[in-house]
Structure formats: C-alpha cells, structure tokens
Chains A and B, each alone.
Chain A
C-alpha cells in the first residue's frame, strides 16, 4: 500500500535529519518554514475538510481523519527528536557554565599549586580553552594590577594585548 511506503519514508527522513548536526541559521529557517507550512495546511483543512478524504483515497487510507492521525504521529516523532537535540545542546551549555563555576571556586588553589611563589596575580583565572569569552574581563576588572605582566600572567591565554 502506498501509505505504508510514504509513512516509512517520512519516518526515515525524520530520523536521518535528526542524526545530522543542526546547521544553525539554516536549521532555524527550516523550522520556521515548516511552522508556516503547518499553519497553511491547517487553514486549508478547515476550508476544505473533504480534501483529507480525497487525499486519503489517493494514498489508500480509509478516511481523512486516519491520514491526519498518521501524519500527526510522524510530526510528533520529529518533534520529539529535535527537542531531544535541543535539550542536549542546552545541557552542554549548562555543563560549561557549571564547570567554569566549579573551577573558579578553587582558582586560588589551582594557581597556588601551579605557580608556587607567584601568588599575587589578577583575581580573574584563566578559563578552559574552549569557553568563549572566558577571560574577557581580565583587564577590565583589575585595571590597576601592577603585576599583570609577571611571567606567570603572560603565559596565560588571556587578552593581554
């Protein structure tokens, strides 16, 4: 039956799309376009309720409502998967935030052990390499730090210049 093929292909597409990394702006644009498409379909269904029955007959499903239900299941699956992806992304952001907090809390200990002797460094610790803007305000928060130029500070990945 045609409907089986269509539904299986749709599910496969959803799964494949979900496994690919979302491509930022393009991904967002696709989301918006599909929302508009969804709205347009809804409007058309209201205006021409019989269209679903006709479409159902074409693909070999009993009634229009059944077709609608099948479609809904596929869309829901897609929604579930994209939501999971967004959740994972959010989780990685929280992780970076929590890690930064945790390391900052022991910044003094980490520094004391690291540069034993050069205790008086500016109070903003170097962040992990991949955290954006981790050391941005180093100079701003401590503009008067006279020892910002000691070797230990120069070796750190900060915007010294």
Chain B
C-alpha cells in the first residue's frame, strides 16, 4: 500500500508539472494581457502601459517567467493577484468556502433524491414512474440554468418576496438562518440538473446489478426483496458511483459559473472567469494548480475507497 501511494504521488507531481507548463504557455500566448483593461479606461498612455509591463516583468521571455513562477510555487509562494494585490491563496480561500457551501449542499441533495429516483426507476423498470423520471430528467437537463435561475428569482424573490434574489448573506448578518435563506434558490437551480444526472447514473448502475446471477439466486432462495435491494444490489451498484463521485470532487471546487453569476455568489467559477478575462495570470495559474491537485486527489481517494468497498481490488493495488 505504501509503495502504491508513493508511486501515485510521483505520477501526480509529474502530471502537475506538465499541466502547469501547458497552462502557463496557453495563458500567456492568449492575446491581450493584464494591462489591456487599463487601456480601455482612457486614463493612461502607451508610455504608462509599457512602464507597467516592465515593472511587472511581463516583457521577459516566457520560459524565464515560468521558471520564476514555478520556483516561487515550490517554496510555497503562490504569488499575488495583479488586480487587487492579495495573495493568490487568500483569494482562493475566500472563494472556496462559498463554492463548497453551494456545491456540497446541492450535490448531497441531488445524490439523495437522484439516487432514490434511480433505484426506484431500476426496480420498477418500464413502470409509469420510470417513464416519468426519464422524461423529467430530460426536461431538467434541457432547461438553461440562467433562465431557470432568473425564473425562480422572479417568482420567489420579486413577486412573492419569500427569499433573497441573490448574494450569500446579508452583510452584517451572516447567521445560520440568513445563510440558509440565501442558499435555497441557487441550491435548487444546481440540484435540478445534477439530480437528473445522478438519477440516470444510479438507474443504469442498478439495472446492471439486478440482472446479475447472484441477485436471481438470492431471489429464488426467498431472500426478502428489501434485503436483496439494500444489502446485495445497492452495495454493488454503488461501486461505479464512487468513481463518479471522486471525479466530481473537482467539479465541486471549480464552482458553477452561471449559477454564481445569476445569484451573485462569490464562488470559484466567478473568480476564474474574472481572472481569465482580466488576464490575472497568478490567480488563474493558482486556481488551475489547485483544481488539478483536487482532481488527482479525488481520483486517488476514489481508488482507495474502491478497495474498501470491493475486497477483490485490495489485492490488486498492493
């Protein structure tokens, strides 16, 4: 197990270095730069922009800029944002909380509801409920998020006035209840789509299992249906779900751009878009590295969980 972990870690480091080089090159080769936003505002001349380029060291060869960045990263210095001068990790830290809050609640909600729908759909295959769930999932997947977000804001905030139209909290309040009220609408929007996705995953995974020989054997032995379902079928059907969950961890952290924008939610998706469009290189690179780490960590954890859930794999990973 120890050597397996070590091997995985070394692979991950190599992958991270590769990812960072590619990302750095693409980012810097994209036209424009962190200073072009100031040209648009009209208070600066060419001489000012050239001077700032030099002061930021942006006119040096790309490999040198990369080595400097990578060297700093190796010593734990993620750099400072070009826009507000805050340390990159501080910025990511400020946005990870709101994103996790939103993504974890909506994902848990979606996994729970979607899971139930999927199980029921598989057990009562081709029933009215199964067809309804299939159609419902298609509809949910087809609704544009921004439209649905605006629609429920219009109904629940503008017309009924029950819930806030956006933001994470009332600044100065921030109590649990206040946070919860702000969480409801964006959570529903995000959960809608992922419920549909999870229900489809769960249904097909469950269907694979219930047609297996050992389930048929259990049924013919007279094992109660509920026990077959939860003890034998569900446990095996969950195996592929673990992989999906592991891969989903990075999605949790990269945020949901559209929902965050519609609901003014200060999450990672918004930070990424704002940083990319302003060519805030240190923040974009920091976020990419952070997300890449999380993807690698997520798949590692999924593999480890797999061996816990399925004793057959334990031997293979040694």
User: Does B bind A?
Assistant: no
Instruction: Enumerate chain A interface residues (CB-CB to B < 8 A).
Output: none
Instruction: Enumerate chain B interface residues (CB-CB to A < 8 A).
Output: none
